[in-house]
Chains A and B, each alone.
Chain A
Amino acid sequence: MNSPPLVTPFSDSTFALTFVLLLLAPLTIAGVALLNTGLGRSRSAAQSLLGCVTMVSVSAIAFAVVGVSFAGAPAHSITIAGKSWNWLGGAPLMLRHFGAMQPQGQLGVLFEFLAVGFAAIIPWGSGADRWRLPAGCAATAVLAGGVFPLVAHWVWADGWLAQLGASFGLGTGFLDGAGAASVHALGGLSALAVVWIAGSRKGKFPREGLATAMPGHNAVYILFGCLLALVGWLAWNAAGAILWLHAAPVTLVVTTLNTVLSASAALVATFTVTRTRFSKPDASMCANGWLAGLVTSSACAAFVTPFEAIAIGAVAGITAPLLVELLELALSIDDPSGAVSVHAAGGLWGLFVAGLFSHGHGQLLAQLVGIATLLGFVFPLVYLLFAIVNRIIPFRVEPDGERLGMDLYELGGGAYPEFVIHRDESYR
């Protein structure tokens, strides 16, 4: 078992700054929760938003009880070919060691608590309109108690990915400033697993013809969610830079600027793409583009130049709407919130460019090893675990639930009882 890594203690001002930033970070979760709700249908709106709150709660408890042990230090390492591989944390269960931790260690755990909640609500949006709440809670417990801590440990607690630099001379090891891997790539890939296991919404992919369009029910939620997410994201990227990249507070202005520029470039790119393709800009696609820019910035905002941030965001903004279309029309993937295109693809793209624009020798290879681990190990693991959960607590709602809407079926009342009349041609 390894000792906890030695870190330079934070000054009081750095501690206070990081703590305040972490207090603002949950606005990101609020923004994405609104996006998830707005992109689903009106008859499932209350279940969607309640689900987001529930996922955050379940993930916090699962992480506190079990996950924090696997995520933290000290660690269990094994030696293979003369190299030490730090696979798993071995801290006490149920946060028993929390009071004895150094203050910056406590901040790191707080960051992980927020990160695991964020990762949990990403697949929830993709399962909108058919993923049952109890099944979502069970899947979230598995994600927060088992998979997220593994990735967080490898990336943030001197795990084997973080040690790729020391062990194999690959730059400074795998870099993930603010959760591009452990939150977004993990959440996005989990979303793909959910979509495949739960299946598409009824009537989405008819036997003949194109996929049925099922637009989000509230563009105001979607776009306000974008603005709310920005506020949290600025805090998130800055706090991550301090905690995981050991950035000095004076460098945070550039990190913040890069976050805004990445999102802005992505929005402009998506606006242009959708306007060119459909004659008019598409509000929900633009929201997804904006979010893709923010997701990308999570990986690299702390160490790219503003011009590079614009270029990186623009590519994310061009790719996001095209991927949404590709997944839906060509690959039959029914992803109402676009999490696979935005969080998985955006996160992986950010991790790649973090290596591309970093000046460390071998950094790109370190990032590629991390991406390969996410695609080749983490995604199959999540799929397998979710498939087991699905056997015990079925993911998909009964056909009646889908017809009535998740609100009436699971909660007994709708989000807009006096204002909305449901009408859906596919159920006639």
Chain B
Amino acid sequence: MRALFILCGIAVELLGLGVAVRGHMERRQEPRPGAAGAAHGAGRP
């Protein structure tokens, strides 16, 4: 039971990580930011 709980926890975390990776991938397809956008982190239009 304890092992199942831990494994389910890791599975949920990996799912979250997958969503995060996917979210950051979509940003990469957008045009590169200009100077103002770049100064506050990449990826914003």
Q: A residues touching B (Cβ–Cβ < 8 Å)? A: 168, 196-200, 202, 205, 207, 331-333, 365, 368-369, 371-372, 375-376, 379, 387, 390-391, 394-400
**B14 located at the interface, meaning its Cβ lies under 8 Å from any Cβ of chain A in the complex:** yes
Residue of A198, A205, A207, A372 touching B10 (CB-CB under 8 A): A372
A399–B38 touching, CB < 8 Å: yes
Q: How far is the CA of A365 from the CA of B33 in the complex (A)?
A: 44
Q: Is the CB of B28 within 8 A of A200?
A: yes
B9 touches A372 (CB 8 A): yes
Alpha-carbon gap, A251 to B27, bound state (A) = 50
Once A368-B6, A368-B7, A368-B10 are accepted as A-B contacts, the answer to whether A394 and B41 lie under 8 Å apart by CB is: yes
| A327 CB → nearest B CB, Å | 9
Q: A47 CA to B45 CA in the complex, in Å?
A: 28
Q: Is A331 within 8 A of B38, CB to CB?
A: no
Q: Select which of B14, B25, B42 is within 8 A of A199 by beta carbon.
A: B42
Residues of B within 8 A of A395 (CB): 41
**CB-CB contacts of B1-33 with A at 8 A, as 1s and 0s?**
011001101101110110011001101110111
Chain B residues positioned under 8 Å from A168 (CB to CB):
2
Cross-interface CB contact of A396 among B3, B10, B39, cutoff 8 Å: B39
Q: Which single residue of chain A is at the shortest CB-CB distance from B29?
A: A207
9 tightest A-B CB contacts, nearest first:
A199-B42, A332-B28, A376-B13, A394-B39, A375-B13, A332-B25, A196-B24, A396-B38, A372-B10
- Assess the B6–A369 pair: CB atoms within 8 A: yes
- Chain A residues contacting B35 (CB-CB under 8 Å) are 398-400
- B residues whose Cβ falls under 8 Å from a Cβ of A: 2-3, 6-7, 9-10, 12-14, 16-17, 20-21, 24-25, 27-29, 31-35, 38-43
A198 and B24 form a contact (CB under 8 A): no
- Say which residue of A332, A365, A398 sits within 8 Å of B3 (CB atoms): A365
- The residue that A331 contacts in the complex, of B25, B33, B39, B43, with Cβ under 8 A, is B25
Knowing A332-B28, A375-B17, A399-B34, the reply to whether A199 touches B43 (Cβ < 8 A) is: yes
Between A and B, 16 residue pairs with Cβ closer than 8 Å are: A198-B41, A198-B42, A199-B33, A199-B43, A331-B25, A332-B24, A333-B24, A365-B3, A368-B10, A376-B9, A376-B13, A394-B39, A396-B38, A398-B35, A398-B38, A399-B35
Q: How far is the CA of A283 from the CA of B39 in the complex (A)?
A: 34
* Chain B residues whose C-beta falls within 8 Å of the C-beta of A365 in the assembled complex: 2-3, 6
With CB as the reference atom, state the residue of chain A lying closest to B25.
A332
How far is it, in angstroms, between the C-alpha of A369 and the C-alpha of B3 when the chains are bound? 10
Bound form: Cα–Cα A372–B27 in Å: 27
Q: Which residues of B contact A391 (CB under 8 A)?
A: 40
CB distance from B13 to the nearest CB of A (A): 4
CA distance A176 to B25 in the complex (A): 32
Contact partners of B2 in chain A: CB under 8 A: 168, 365
B10 touches A371 (CB 8 A): yes
Q: Which residues of A contact B12 (CB under 8 A)?
A: 376
Most buried by A among B2, B31, B32: B32
* Contact indicator B42/A200 (Cβ below 8 Å): yes
CB distance from A37 to the nearest CB of B (A): 23
Distance of A351 from chain B, by nearest CB (Å) = 12
* Chain A residue, CB-CB nearest to B14: A375
A372 near B13 (CB under 8 angstroms)? Answer: yes
Q: Are A390 and B40 in contact (CB under 8 A)?
A: yes
Q: Is the CB–CB distance between A331 and B6 below 8 Å?
A: no
Question: Contacts of A202 on B, CB cut-off 8 Å?
Answer: 32
Q: Are A398 and B43 in contact (CB under 8 A)?
A: no
Q: Chain A residues near B39: list those with CB within 8 A.
A: 394, 396, 398
Tell me the bound Cα distance from A395 to B42 in angstroms: 9
Chain B residues whose C-beta falls within 8 Å of the C-beta of A375 in the assembled complex: 10, 13-14, 17
Closest Cβ–Cβ distance, residue B12 to chain A (whole Å): 8
Across the interface, which residues of A come within 8 angstroms of B14, CB to CB?
375
